[in-house]
A and B are shown apart, each in its own frame.
Chain A
């Protein structure tokens, strides 16, 4: 394999060196080596100078290196430097915060350099809707993230990498097994009761972000306010994420390899109660319930001291049985390069993740080919292709397996010496769920084709057209096993059995085609500059699915649908389609790069609506004033080199409503007579012809400032978002006998602020940069059209939607501690008969002397407040380091199920040891009572403060000196080690769970990864 090194390489040694690499002749080698040494020895020059910034201030800590050759120095406190170099060398000056500069020595001995700050770099552009804009001319709230930021953490889903990187973007990482990450992104709060995901546009077409290879991302931009999102109209109410993938650059060929291996470990290690404590606690719990104590003292002693753990199994720490460290690896190889006419980038990725629980695994392979053609000076074309396939598997009953780790699994031998599975005294084993119940296999295909062309029609007038097609589908194969578990001692007894196995296979297919046509015009008249955009877009979506089921397979290994019994065969399927047609435009005007005005508008039509509601209009307007550009600013610019205030207002929409809601349709409700199936049809849901979009109106004011030549930067935004006409399945009287149709009712308000502060500087060779961001949003349902409240109960957590409260507020009882005496019990209403001292004292809120559901009140909310991130980068010589802290300042979680829902073997957690007894009345935990739910109904007692600070990631890298790597024709070789989720500071630590863990106890846990990796560039 041959690599062509940059033609611009002017170092005298290199060309010869390369010649040698090509020839391989030994004599020549020796000769050349000598020549090499000679050159180095005899042509050294000394060069000195001062490095200054644009204001003439000296800059210390600037790295001065020889291009392509080892060696270098750093400017001192006065910006001075001195370096010995070959006569014809090229010096590279670099420091964080300034654009790097190359200077050819050309025999000079004094070279003074002026560095341009990146903060004031007028050329820096950011991606906006249907185009790009100079950062300085932005009038709206837009955050952009460089691809490299997204590659710092070893993640299974690139969405996890977004966490904490930018204010106003809340990423909730709910764990999730291999291939099934449960990550949700919320831009500026929760705006509606359903469908809160932002619109994700990758290279101009809507695509899922989830499985994209992070290494393919050049930039990721989050459009937050309505001024920036209104151009996406009806799908933009939840913000827009724009992703631009990498493309071929330059005329040289470049090969990149990014690889890492990581060890994954679950970070969810709640402490379970010790055996003796558990047995005593159970005795108390049973006695409290009026039942005989199950563990006589002598039995406890026998049990505790026994060495026969087959006969006397432990109160198992199932975490040790179920969880094991697992390997994750990721490799991306990309080749890019081209000529004047054609530039291309080919990237292939392989990702492989083992699960930390048995039988879970994921593997993803993807390929991307992005190619650009320059047809003429006026015409450009590009064609991109991306395809990925993700194979993953998990236990069919994964959630149950995880749930059973925490509940009802005590006193089980995981597996007996002969391999027989043990069951707990509740007849349960998480291992059986994970290993014996069956496996599910998934295959997720996704492809995207993206064709673009643009033509310069006149000076400043450009026409751009784009056609994108995405397609894909998920194949599922869900198998449930037949099995039996025999008693270890008496094989004639069947302890557990499932006699029917079954297979459900499903295939679905999704296809979305997008057509974008844009006309852009740019002109200027003196200091007046205009740009205009007019566009047309259409999206057509098609979906279909087919599934088949059979049962009674010959054994659990024959997993082909044809092998199930004929009598059990069943199939199902449906299809759907929707379309979107849009007209949009944008007008930008600025005067002297000082005053900016922008107007956006989009006119969207959707197949989801009918009649006059089909089309809707989404306008926005914004403006900015760069105060620092004013004359009066003058010397102030020494302190604040950039100060801009922005303001925006706009409307966006959300069309997340079921299809055909406006049509009166009949649902299938089949029956049978005498065993013969008959068709039945029935009107199930009321139609709503008046259905239309949810509309979000958002106002935003913001400030961008940069100080001391870009050493400090600050961005602040305050916004108010009002979503009206939220699509609700507003309850209708049940006597109507129909399901409620979605209706436009209900308003939700979000008010919030975002702050980002950045700082970068250097001390000698030590360069550092840090970005701190924090944001908060207050959410409130302001209107439910006079209806509600809506109460929902999922996994023992009751939530309420009610006017004046945040979305999904916790509903429950207020507690007044625990009853301390029988007199106290007798003198206060109780929720349960048989309440005794040591039980929770629920408050009779309405004071009517009766405790019932009307005493349930809002007791909290799971909406996080003050979410923040601190991202720090350091580099010193060849070392670099990234340190990333992330957290939530205020957050609540309801752990009612955690505390109690374990039917007979309840009280299995260590914290439950501290329970109330007449002798221990200041206990943390109420009186245990077997079979009773008195103390763990939804109550503020079980709301815990789940605020946290996590060291999300730490990475240490070392780049081999280029002098060393050059010899192997390597441009750059960097090794790194990293660890994620290193530590967590949170009040929930004492309850033993992770603040990001889903309290339903059914989720695959969050992980800690320890990574070793390399970046290699030829």
Chain B
């Protein structure tokens, strides 16, 4: 007993003497401090990799809910508020886009400031990375300038004080910056990517072509699109049906995409699009009647044109094949097996109006809805295409038409898109006036790029958003005991005013930087 007590006393004595020297100097071993970074070539690669995450993903597709071809199916929340015009500068969507873009821009600035510290074993690797990062930064600026107009142009890391005093740069100057940056990137980038998904010369050209089209700098847009076409590495994928499925990943039509992989870096596109019967959750974004009606008959006529052969009781027969590849309509096969039936009187799980989670229009988006992802909806590995060759062809055509520089290449660019192997629509009428061609190319963009997020930009830059958006929410027209009934979402009033062509600058930003001015009407 005595011994035990002695040992015990000794133990306590040891305890009181043990002063841990490093007690207050805990060093994190679960994160990298910046002072040990930028030491190896690999560090440059790692830093560039991170910036790809700032590219658009399903967020790009989701923007189409603010257009006349799609609609927010959720009853409440931020997207509905924006669709109904009851949003403001505090809107999380408005702030989220701004925040993400500037985060990516900071990352790019930080990269470009530090990249030269890295000892390069292969200077070409460094040059390529610079081009990739420059392209990402320009891509983000193109989003910003389109959505918010004049925004601060930030090209280096800032201190808090500097950031509180930056001023807006005119949209024009930002577009100049985008143009010159992407031109620089084109010089830095290779034609062929070292890994699928890495930014290439073609991607930089294509981002630039899109940006210049948005900027209405049609000559530059046409030239850039032409440069992409002339690279000779891109072509349309023969199957529109498979274009958004796993078999077509990284095909030659894809110029820029956001790469995903199941379990590791997945997206949730199924939760955005898949019919209720597949996911047992609320559908987020659904097609509207307008776009479904806009798909031509296989004879090239619109459904309301005489001689189109359109049968309202069998409305989906003999239509532009892209309809059945893009939209779930009653009678379609679901990727999980079973038949999609959204007719309100069908009693089926997807019946429109049966509950608040199914599509209110009776239509669901089919692009990117793949059987491989049906079991785990937030774990989709499918790449989301940001720019594909078809868009470049249509950009080329549109830019040339706007310049009134109409030649055979315009017709063939449009027809190339229409006559992809499994689409094979009749060629467009030839010749057409500039006005007619403008209509033609705009129609083609709506159909070809439906639900890919481009409609959002298109109706805004064409200036017809106020006309096409302030419309009731209409869906499926179905046989209701012999009469045709169109599904309408009651009590949903869309609102798009002149001010909505630009989003407001986030309130938070205005409060912290008194040098900024809010967009008109906000």
Note all chain A residues with C-beta closer than 8 A to B33.
663-666
Evaluate whether A567 and B263 lie within 8 angstroms (CB atoms) in the complex, with A576-B28, A733-B163, A736-B102 already known.
yes
Report if A633 contacts B (CB, 8 A).
no
Report if A675 contacts B (CB, 8 A).
yes
Q: Is B513's CB under 8 angstroms from A465's CB?
A: no
Q: Which of A144-152, A373-381, A838-846, A862-870 contacts B (4 or more CB under 8 A)?
A: A373-381
Q: Is B31's CB under 8 angstroms from A667's CB?
A: yes
Note all chain B residues with C-beta closer than 8 A to A630.
none
- A290, B198: Cα distance in complex, Å: 52
User: Can you list, as one digit per residue, whether each of B407-424 has a CB less than 8 Å from chain A (1) or not (0)?
Assistant: 000000000000000000
Closest to A541 in B: B26
Note all chain A residues with C-beta closer than 8 A to B260.
672
Q: Is A427's CB under 8 angstroms from B276's CB?
A: yes
Q: Which of A498, A666, A678 contacts B32 (CB 8 A)?
A: A666
Note all chain A residues with C-beta closer than 8 A to B34.
664-666, 683
Q: Is A669's CB under 8 angstroms from B355's CB?
A: no
Report if B247 contacts A (CB, 8 A).
no
Note all chain A residues with C-beta closer than 8 A to B489.
931
Report if A291 contacts B (CB, 8 A).
yes
Note all chain A residues with C-beta closer than 8 A to B25.
607
Closest to A517 in B: B16
CB distance from A211 to the nearest CB of B (A): 26
Note all chain A residues with C-beta closer than 8 A to B158.
733, 735-736
Note all chain B residues with C-beta closer than 8 A to A457.
none
Q: Is A853's CB under 8 angstroms from B375's CB?
A: no
Report if A554 contacts B (CB, 8 A).
no
- A570, B265: Cα distance in complex, Å: 11
CB distance from B117 to the nearest CB of A (A): 14
Q: Is A427's CB under 8 angstroms from B280's CB?
A: yes
User: Can you list, as one digit per residue, whether each of B183-213 has a CB less than 8 Å from chain A (1) or not (0)?
Assistant: 0000000000001111000000000000000
Q: Is A670's CB under 8 angstroms from B5's CB?
A: no
Q: Is A735's CB under 8 angstroms from B166's CB?
A: yes
- A290, B231: Cα distance in complex, Å: 56
Report if A852 contacts B (CB, 8 A).
yes
Q: Which of A499, A576, A735, A787 contacts B152 (CB 8 A)?
A: A735
- A115, B52: Cα distance in complex, Å: 83
Q: Which of B31, B166, B374 contacts A665 (CB 8 A)?
A: B31
In chain B between 284 and 336, which residues have their CB closer than 8 angstroms to a CB of chain A?
A: none
Note all chain A residues with C-beta closer than 8 A to B356.
408, 426, 903-904
Q: Is A674's CB under 8 angstroms from B166's CB?
A: no
- A732, B105: Cα distance in complex, Å: 16
Q: Is B103's CB under 8 angstroms from A373's CB?
A: no
Note all chain B residues with C-beta closer than 8 A to A289.
490-491
Note all chain A residues with C-beta closer than 8 A to B45.
678
Note all chain B residues with C-beta closer than 8 A to A100.
none
CB distance from A245 to the nearest CB of B (A): 20
User: Can you list, as one digit per residue, whether each of A729-742 has a CB less than 8 Å from chain B (1) or not (0)?
Assistant: 00111111110000
Evaluate whether A791 and B90 lie within 8 angstroms (CB atoms) in the complex, with A379-B9, A497-B280, A673-B195 already known.
yes
Evaluate whether A682 and B491 lie within 8 angstroms (CB atoms) in the complex, with A496-B280, A576-B30, A659-B28 already known.
no
Most buried by A among B76, B84, B88, B196: B76
CB distance from B309 to the nearest CB of A (A): 34
Q: Which of A59-67, A352-360, A828-836, A914-922 contacts B (4 or more CB under 8 A)?
A: A828-836
Note all chain B residues with C-beta closer than 8 A to A495.
349
Note all chain A residues with C-beta closer than 8 A to B49.
669-671, 678-680
Closest to B110 in A: A683
Closest to A489 in B: B347
Q: Which of A160-168, A171-179, A248-256, A577-585 contacts B (4 or more CB under 8 A)?
A: A577-585
Q: Is A567's CB under 8 angstroms from B24's CB?
A: no
Q: Is A680's CB under 8 angstroms from B53's CB?
A: yes
Note all chain B residues with C-beta closer than 8 A to A574.
30
Report if B35 contacts A (CB, 8 A).
yes
Report if A982 contacts B (CB, 8 A).
no
Closest to B98 in A: A734
Most buried by B among A383, A427, A551: A427
Q: Is A666's CB under 8 angstroms from B99's CB?
A: no
Q: Which of B390-398, B441-449, B454-462, B504-512 contacts A (4 or more CB under 8 A)?
A: B504-512
Q: Which of A515, A614, A664, A674 contacts B15 (CB 8 A)?
A: A515
Closest to A936 in B: B76
Evaluate whether A540 and B20 lie within 8 angstroms (CB atoms) in the complex, with A570-B263, A672-B261, A736-B160 already known.
yes
Closest to B193 in A: A673
- A679, B40: Cα distance in complex, Å: 14
Report if A756 contacts B (CB, 8 A).
no
- A540, B197: Cα distance in complex, Å: 47
Report if A930 contacts B (CB, 8 A).
yes
Evaluate whether A453 and B355 lie within 8 angstroms (CB atoms) in the complex, with A500-B376, A577-B26 already known.
no
Q: Which of A381, A497, A577, A578 contacts B5 (CB 8 A)?
A: A381
Report if B479 contacts A (CB, 8 A).
no
- A517, B15: Cα distance in complex, Å: 10
Q: Is A671's CB under 8 angstroms from B53's CB?
A: yes
- A426, B513: Cα distance in complex, Å: 46
Q: Is B5's CB under 8 angstroms from A665's CB?
A: no
Closest to B85 in A: A833
- A286, B51: Cα distance in complex, Å: 48
Q: Is B264's CB under 8 angstroms from A677's CB?
A: yes
Q: Is B509's CB under 8 angstroms from A733's CB?
A: yes
Note all chain B residues with C-beta closer than 8 A to A686.
160
- A451, B154: Cα distance in complex, Å: 59
Evaluate whether A677 and B265 lie within 8 angstroms (CB atoms) in the complex, with A665-B31, A672-B259 already known.
yes
Report if A985 contacts B (CB, 8 A).
no
Q: Which of B18, B32, B152, B154 contacts A681 (CB 8 A)?
A: B32
Q: Is B86's CB under 8 angstroms from A832's CB?
A: yes
Closest to A578 in B: B26
Report if A998 contacts B (CB, 8 A).
no
Report if A901 contacts B (CB, 8 A).
yes
Report if B46 contacts A (CB, 8 A).
yes
Q: Is A538's CB under 8 angstroms from B250's CB?
A: no
- A337, B202: Cα distance in complex, Å: 85
Q: Which residues of B contact A (CB under 8 A)?
A: 5, 8-9, 11-13, 15-16, 18-20, 22-26, 28-35, 37, 43, 45-47, 49-53, 75-76, 84, 86, 88, 90, 95, 98-99, 102-107, 109-110, 152, 154, 158, 160, 163-164, 166, 195-198, 250, 259-265, 276-277, 280, 338, 348-349, 354-358, 374-376, 379, 381, 489-493, 495, 506, 508-509, 511-513
28 cross-chain CB contacts under 8 A? A290-B491, A291-B491, A465-B12, A467-B12, A515-B16, A540-B20, A567-B263, A607-B24, A614-B24, A664-B33, A671-B52, A672-B261, A672-B265, A674-B197, A678-B45, A678-B46, A680-B53, A681-B46, A682-B50, A682-B51, A733-B513, A735-B509, A737-B102, A833-B493, A833-B495, A903-B75, A930-B491, A932-B491
The 3 nearest A-B residue pairs measured at CB: A737-B106, A680-B50, A674-B196
